[in-house]
Amino acid sequence: MLKIIKIKKNKGMSYVELIVVLSIFSVMTSVVLFNYGEFQAKVDIKNLASDVALKIVEAQKSSLSGKFPPAAQQALIASPLTWKPSYGLFINQASDDKSFFYFTDVDQNNDFNDSTCAGSGECLEKIVITKGNSISSLNVFYQDDITPYNLNDLTITFTRPNSGAVIKSSQIVPPLPAPISYVQITIASPQAVSALIKIYPSGRIQVN
């Protein structure tokens, strides 16, 4: 007696089913990539804010530790015996929002006098901001006043033996009228992600 064996054939995916699956996969991939791009932008901005804050801290530590500048800058000091180590940061957001300067305050006037950074003046380093990020604003906040006042430029210096910051801007007769609560540097990415660096006259630095 012959047995009839039925062989079941597995059907493959139809063209319509394949299109649906690929569409779902494409949507999921787009969502993941979008979220990753936003996450990466947040990481980059936080890292940049930390780098700016660390440069300010470096200026503070260099002045307090009595660090002397390179020989070329020492030659510019008018009175080496009475010169007090002074270092700072200069930001001119109005003319260049993608860089800032780390400098030695050779003449101790709490100003930056070397915009070319050619190696023959006060400039120690020009830090260039990459990845499309930028300094979007500079603001000063006064005590008992929640209104921020915009600045085009900002100079922050430290001079031994004081740990406090001297804060100046060309827009206001320096130093800025007291009492200042803090100045704020805002940095932003092309994705509209931002971070804040707050510098207090006491020398405290805060990154948000």
If we measure between CA atoms, which residue out of 101, 67, 196, 88 comes closest to residue 139?
Answer: 196
Instruction: Report the SS3 class of residue 80.
Output: coil
**Neighbour-count burial for 120-141, b at 16+ CB within 10 Å, e otherwise:** ebbbbebbebeeebbbebbbbb
Question: Using CA atoms, how far apart are residues 158 and 59, in angstroms rounded to an integer?
Answer: 7
40 burial class (0-12, 13-18, 19+ CB within 10 angstroms)? middle
**β-strand partners of 86:** 159
Write down the pLDDT at residue 14.
74
From the centroid of its chain, how far is CA 207? Answer: 10
Q: How do the pLDDT tens digits run along the chain, 208 residues long?
A: 555 555 555 555 677 777 877 778 777 766 655 566 678 888 899 999 999 999 999 999 999 999 999 999 999 998 988 999 999 999 999 999 999 999 999 999 999 988 888 888 999 999 999 999 999 999 999 888 888 899 999 999 999 999 999 999 987 644 555 588 999 999 999 988 999 999 999 999 999 9
Question: Using CA atoms, how far apart are residues 165 and 90, in angstroms rounded to an integer?
Answer: 13
Question: Using CA atoms, how far apart are residues 51 and 68, in angstroms rounded to an integer?
Answer: 23
Q: What pTM value is reported for the model?
A: 0.80
Largest CA distance in the chain: 119
Q: Which residues contact 88 (CB under 8 A, 6 or more apart)?
A: 59, 102, 103, 105, 110, 112, 155, 156, 157, 158, 166
